[in-house]
Amino acid sequence: MAILKTENLTRRFGGLVAVNNLSFEIPEGKITGLIGPNGSGKSTTINLISGVLPASSGNVEYMGKRITGYAPHMVARMGISRTYQQIRLFEKMTVLENVYVARNLMYKSNLADVLIGSKRLSSEDKANEKKAMELLELVGLADKADELPKNLPYGYRRFLEIARALATEPKLLLLDEPAAGMNRDEFMEVMDLVRRLRAMDISVLLVEHTMEFVEAVVDHVVVLNFGQKLAEGTFAQIEKDPQVIEAYLGKEEL
């Protein structure tokens, strides 16, 4: 059963076609790898699914519902969350607040509740702050809750971004190169974290360059080249695919 399906998804930038007629499926409860040489359209695909970029043509279908053209916050509300290749945090807010604020979509309190300081608001605040704290514990940042993100080591900034992405309680998480720039220890930790996500019943689309990472965690791989789907299958199948080897040849080792 697919949680998300793209149909002939296309995105042009001027004369350049970044994603070209791409159709693929993300199976539910599994980790799907999205790999390909540089500039093959992986990040653009994530931007199209999360609604950050509008598609030039084609469709995105999530749990049987067409979500093409939805605003990003609506996509997030539907249960799709993401991280960025270039980490984007709320730099003037504390580590805790970075996660806490992503719980905003859970609130039922309205402006009136805020102004009178209603019971409903304070109980929602309490529950959401607790949940945010739990997520910080999950990624190992609980003791840094009151710090500003700029005081965190690089790898932890990524963990914070993942915690924020989890705060919206996604059913599908799009991870854009979560291990980029990490040292060995952090790399092992993030790999472990991604594995734990599967146990939490979260489907994952993983864009990653490090093949060690992909091999270790994914159930299924989609290979992109020049914005098109080149191959699809298990990692073992992909690894032997002559087309894939050719696409990567001289560019990156597989």
CB of 171 to other proteins, least distance (A): 13
List of residues 6+ apart from 86 with CB closer than 8 A: none
Contact 144, 152 (CB under 8 A): yes
Nearest to other proteins of 160, 222 (CB atom): 160
Nearest to other proteins of 90, 226 (CB atom): 90
Distance CA 157, CA 137 (A): 14
C-alpha dihedral, 48 to 49 to 52 to 57, nearest 10°: 40
Nearest to other proteins of 93, 216 (CB atom): 93
Q: Kindly state the greatest CA–CA separation across the chain.
A: 66
Nearest to other proteins of 125, 219 (CB atom): 125
Write out the DSSP string of 52-89.
SS--SEEEEEETTEE-TT--HHHHHHHTEEE--SS---
CB of 124 to other proteins, least distance (A): 8
Helices (H), the chain: 42-49, 72-78, 95-100, 111-116, 119-138, 154-167, 184-199, 211-217, 235-240, 242-248
CB of 200 to other proteins, least distance (A): 18
DSSP state of 106: G
Neighbours of 195 (CB within 10 A): 13
Nearest to other proteins of 14, 64 (CB atom): 14
C-alpha dihedral, 56 to 12 to 235 to 83, nearest 10°: -80
CB of 25 to other proteins, least distance (A): 22
Nearest to other proteins of 44, 128 (CB atom): 128
CB of 97 to other proteins, least distance (A): 6
CB of 127 to other proteins, least distance (A): 12
Give contact residues for other proteins (rule: CB under 8 A): 50-52, 71-73, 75-77, 81-82, 84, 88-94, 97, 100-105, 107, 109, 111, 114-115, 117, 121, 124-125, 128, 148, 164-165, 167-168
